[in-house]
Amino acid sequence: MRRLFVPILMAVTCAVAGPALAQVQDDVVVTGGTAAPDNAEESRRLREAIAYANVLPPGAPENDYSLVAWCEALVTGHVRVGESLGSDDELDLRIIALGRVEAESFRAALEAGRATQSPEALSEAEAAAEGARRMWAPILAGDAALRDQTFGLFFGLPGRCEHAARRITLGITDPPPTPADVGLE
């Protein structure tokens, strides 16, 4: 079965940051020869400010480490639902493969940041992940039609998940940029 897979992060980022991204991209366009330098750091700060300014969904923890644990559990659950279908559809298999890569990236961030977390933060992260796993339990226990429908409807995670994972991996402890910091307010 073909799935409509919409990367919500991209759609939300473009919808929310459309005018801001347009401002960033309103520079002179150079064709042929050497292109003007791309300011990747400025662009990353803009995306991060937008991601942190957006409200998280109900049940999502605010703390970066716990949020990444929650995100990893959600992605892993979605992958498990997809695997349970035994689909040979190329798009389904690609979604599952991408989910595995994303979950591994979150696990690597959690491992990289583990030593700097307090015992309380580690407990909070495990509780957040367990809460996300519990949300998948009834789906995984359901019939194939429920699993298939759920697999096709899961659109993605808050954009903040990837930014939090990057910050944890790099050991960044200063506050993320705000919209005002990047000229959006």
1 lies in a domain? no
Least confident of 61-65, 100-104, 150-154: 150-154
67 lies in a domain? yes
174 lies in a domain? no
Please, are residues 107 and 168 in contact by the beta-carbon 8 Å criterion? Answer: no
20 lies in a domain? yes
Name all contacts of 174-178 with Cβ < 8 Å and 24+ positions apart: 176/48, 176/49, 176/51, 176/52, 177/45, 177/48, 177/49, 177/52, 178/49, 178/52, 178/53
| Domain total of the chain | 1
185 lies in a domain? no
The model's pLDDT over 137-178, given as tens digits with 9 standing for 90+, comes to: 999 999 999 999 999 887 678 999 999 999 999 999 999 999
Greater model confidence, 79 or 33: 79
Please, are residues 128 and 70 in contact by the beta-carbon 8 Å criterion? Answer: yes
Tokens read off for 127: 């509780």
Q: pLDDT band at 90, cuts 50/70/90?
A: very high
Residue 121: how many other CB atoms lie within 10 Å = 17
119 lies in a domain? yes
Measured CA to CA, the distance from residue 12 to residue 121 in angstroms comes to: 29
182 lies in a domain? no
179 lies in a domain? no
User: What is the domain extent for residue 164?
Assistant: 8-169
> pTM score, two decimals?
0.77
